[in-house]
Amino acid sequence: MNVEDPKSHFRLPAETRWPLFLYNLFFPIVLLGMLPQIALRMFRRGGFRAKFGQRLGHFTPDDLARFAAHDWTWIHSISVGETLLALKLARKMRALDPAQNIAISVTTSTGFAVAQPAVCDWLEVIYNPLDSRAIVRRTLRALRPTRLIFIEAIWPNLLATTKKLGVPTALIARLSPRSERRFRTARKIVAPIFRLLDTVCVQEPEDVARWQSLGVETARIQCTGNIKFDLADEMPSREAEFRSLVRKLGVKDGAPVLLAGSTFPGEEKIVAEIFCDLRPEFPD
């Protein structure tokens, strides 16, 4: 893939240029408005300084040398949930093709921390580049992927730039009713973007018609099942270990259990205080 040679580029359809123009017009404004919230979240989670330059498309000489030594499949995830799916997908793809090298990109430092232990000779973890055309081009120039797979969300500039380079793209899709309503409302804008995808992998047969209505050709839609369910099926059960733990804490078998997952420091106290307030009214 040659990012510099214009002859290697495909011309985007005319219907796509207007939505991309609007996206690039409003993206900086939206980003600026969200910047305080994003910065606060990054400070709370910590670890944001490490490899921060990757978010702007800058890589170390060692990173560039490693990328140049192999062909890479790029799996684009976001946070912890998508990263877990990306890791499972990467292992399956590697099992099918032992010569394959895979780069997983994440947005959050928590997702990065989850993926980092899996780094090995064939798997690399990087941060997602900010979705501006210049930054996306720098990242593509460094990584030079042979294919790009989005997990549950697409970034328009990354998709469009990759498509122009002739690199195959796919989306592992999860379309909630709320998202579908929003996309239908803005169908004239989002449909041309969705049509840039070479493949859309959906969970259920009934999802095919929903993606057709959003502009994706039937031939490009594949029903592949739910990776999250597949992941749960393959994980060893820890029910016995869990039961032993709650018994030691004095919890009777069959008693309801309140679970607060993915909490940050201080939030456990909030949950405990609410629990104590509710317990007189709900003794079970």
HEC-encoded secondary structure of 146-214: EEEEEECCCCHHHHHHHHHCCCCEEEECCCCHHHHHHHHHCHHHHHHHHCCCCEEEECCCCHHHHHHCC
In angstroms, the CA 130 to CA 139 distance is 10
Q: Of residues 255 and 87, which shows the higher confidence score? A: 87
pLDDT at residue 64 in the model = 95
For residues 12 and 164, is the Cβ–Cβ distance under 8 A? Answer: yes
**Other beta carbons less than 10 A from residue 149's beta carbon:** 23
SS3 content of the chain, % helix, strand, coil (to 5): 55, 10, 35
pLDDT at residue 21 in the model = 92
Judge residue 111's burial from the number of C-beta atoms within 10 Å of its C-beta, 0-12 exposed, 13-18 middle, 19 or more buried: buried
Residue indicated by tokens 């804490």: 249
The answer to which of 6-20, 161-175, 252-266 has the lowest mean pLDDT is: 6-20
Amino acid identity of 9? H
Q: What's the length of the chain?
A: 284
pLDDT at residue 224 in the model = 85
**pLDDT grade for 238, boundaries at 50, 70 and 90:** confident
pLDDT exceeds cutoff 70 at 8: no
Q: What is the pLDDT of residues 21-36, one digit of tens each?
A: 999 998 888 878 877 7
pLDDT at residue 185 in the model = 87
DSSP one-letter code for 90: H
Residue indicated by tokens 């690199």: 167
Sign of CA dihedral 234, 240, 245, 246: positive
Q: What pTM value is reported for the model?
A: 0.76
Question: In this structure, what token pair is assigned to residue 179?
Answer: 């998202």
**pLDDT grade for 230, boundaries at 50, 70 and 90:** low
What's the average model confidence in pLDDT over 125-130? 95
Percent of the chain with pLDDT over 70: 90
Q: What is the pLDDT of residues 133-167, one digit of tens each?
A: 999 999 999 999 999 999 989 999 999 999 999 99
pLDDT at residue 203 in the model = 86
Q: Which residues contact 165 (CB under 8 A, 6 or more apart)?
A: 1, 2, 3, 8, 9, 10, 140
Among 156, 221, 222, which residue's Cα sits nearest to residue 193?
A: 156
pLDDT exceeds cutoff 70 at 188: yes
Query: Which run of H or E residues covers position 221?
Result: strand 221-223
In angstroms, the CA 108 to CA 193 distance is 25
pLDDT at residue 235 in the model = 57
pLDDT exceeds cutoff 80 at 262: no
Phi, psi of 171 (to 5 degrees): -125, 125
Phi, psi of 113 (to 5 degrees): -65, -35
